Every structure is written in structure tokens, then in C-alpha cells.
Amino acid sequence: MDIGIGLPNTVPGTEPPRLLDWARQAEEAGFSTLGTIGRLVYPGYEELIALTAAAAVTSRIRLTTSVLLAPLHANAALLAKQAASLDRVSAGRFVLGVGLGGRDDDFTASGLSTRGRGRRFEEQLREMKRVWSGEERGFAGAIGPRTVRDGGPELILGGGSEASFRRVAELGDGWIMGGGTPEMFAQAAAAVDAAWRDAGRPGTPRKLSLAYFALGPDARAQADAYLLDYYGFLGDVASQVAASAAVSPDMVTSYAAAFEASGCDELIFVPTGSGLDQIELLAGAVA
């Protein structure tokens, strides 16, 4: 199983130079990917821009939106162009992870309704794939640039419903779980595989998951401070999310082993702080 690390693009107070230093050191530490999470109504950096900055200072590590809330990007052709641009800039290292999103304030701030978002999401995915296929749109031809991989960057879809699993099988290259236990992952992953087979797709989809972490002497306080704020809109559930964060090397090792046993192909540990020591501490825990 590959082990990735999140970029602290949503951690309040993270300055731009820290994002660049984090990207460089994460690559040097050998992590498989830099992941981003995101929402609109929060003081964080937009994911595609943050990963473009990371692409400029790295050369090997994958760059994954885990996940981008696609319905907030109402212009699907423009989103396809942005994704293709990052794909080219990074020499094919970009992985586009997308999901529906579930916070009403993000949609309200965008002037969008949450109603019908699943249908719009599917239309959006199909439109992006048409753009990446080189379909001509006007006198100048296709919407470019051409992606490094034929058909577009690797497309990973989030979600935990049967409709989400069907979308993975019909339109995606893989699936990602945004949070939960290894047992929850195993159950959902089996459903994803079943949908994949039912759709007649060869092989198997790539399956990823996220897990929050904080390490060091103030690990629990750091995890609580960030996660209780970021997930405060969920009420009491925010405390459950905070409590699930890996706050010791043993917890990190245990999570990695359990997710690997559950069939996870890549586990991305998402930071709750932006201190550069977190990279070295995580690398040591998963070595």
C-alpha cells in the first residue's frame, strides 16, 4: 500500500512558503502523493492552485485532490482545462479526486442549489472526459492543453452511496473514502468492486482513503484544535472525527496496517498542523 501525506492547504495560519517547504520535504521523505482537502467557506488555499505551487517545486511525488468539490465548479469545460493544465505542468503527476460536497454554506456562497447535484456531477464528469478526449469545440479545435495520459488525468471519485459506486464504475478510475474505519472501508470497497464488475470493466479500480494525524508532544491538542473547528458544522460528530485522528506512532502504524488489510491501495495521512516536523515524524512512523 502506498502512503501519502496531505498538504496543509486548509490549516489556518499556513503561509505560502510553508506550503512549498512542505511539498519539497514530503517528496524527499518518500511519500507517494501530496493530497489536498477543501471547502469554499473556510480560510484555506484552493486546491488546484496549491497543488500547482507544489508541482513547481517537486518532480516525483503525485499531486492528488482528495477531494475537490466538483459541483462548485459550475463550468465543467473550464475545470477540465484547469485539470489538464496542472496535468501538463506536473508532467502527468496530477490525480483528480472529486466529490459532491455536503456543506450548504459552500453551495449558498456559490449561488448553487444542493438539489440535483448528483445529476449535475455526472454531467460534469462526462463533459470533462469529452474535453480530455480532444473533442473539437470551435474554429481553433479542442479545449487544451492535451493531457499527458490519453483520456485525461486519473479520475478518482468520492462518496459512500450505491450511486457513488456506480459512478466510479461508469466514469472513474478509482474510489476514495473521505473518512471512516478500516472496517467501513472494506465494506464499501467490496461494493465498489462489485459495481466495477457489473459494469464490465476490466481489472480493478484503485481504492484510496484518508486518515487525519498529529504527532509530537502536543498531538492531541493540535488535532482537536483543527478538527473541532473544521468540522464544527457537524455538531457532536466533530468530536468523533477529532477522536479518530492518529496521535501517536503506534496509532499511525496500526491504521496503516488495518487499511492495507482492508484492500486500500493508497492511504493519505492528512495533517492537522503545518509544522514541518510533522513530515519527519510521520515518515518515521510508517517506515
Residue 281 pLDDT? 98
Contact predicate 245/216, CB 8 Å:
no
Q: How far apart are CA 124 and CA 54, in angstroms?
A: 26
What pairs with residue 267 in β-bridges? 3, 209
Work out how many domains the chain is built from and give that number: 1
Q: Is the dihedral of CA 138, 140, 143, 147 positive or negative?
A: positive
Predicted TM-score (pTM) of the model is: 0.97
From first to last of its 287 residues, the chain has per-residue pLDDT tens of 999 999 999 999 999 999 999 999 999 999 999 999 999 999 999 999 999 999 999 999 999 999 999 999 999 999 999 999 999 999 999 999 999 998 999 999 999 999 999 999 999 999 999 999 999 998 999 999 999 999 999 999 999 999 999 999 999 999 999 999 999 999 999 999 999 999 999 999 999 999 999 999 999 999 999 999 999 999 999 999 999 999 999 999 999 999 999 999 999 999 999 999 999 999 999 99
Residue 102 pLDDT? 83
Residue 239 pLDDT? 97
What 3 state SS string does the chain have?
CEEEEECCCCCCCCCHHHHHHHHHHHHHCCCCEEEECCCCCCCCCCHHHHHHHHHHCCCCCEEEEEEEEHHHCCCHHHHHHHHHHHHHHCCCCEEEEEECCCCHHHHHHCCCCCCCHHHHHHHHHHHHHHHHCCCEEECCEECCCCCCCCCCCEEEEECCCHHHHHHHHHHCCEEEECCCCHHHHHHHHHHHHHHHHHCCCCCCCEEEEEEEECCCCCHHHHHHHHHHHHCHHHCCHHHHHHHCCECCHHHHHHHHHHHHHCCCCEEEEEECCCCCHHHHHHHHHHC
Q: What is the dihedral of CA 197, 261, 220, 103, to 10 degrees?
A: 10
For 73, other C-beta atoms within 10 Å of its C-beta total 18
Residue range(s) defining the domain that contains residue 88: 3-286
Grid-cell match 493530497, residue found: 35
Supply angle C-alpha 84, 90, 93, rounded to 5.
85
CATH code assigned at 220: 3.20.20.30
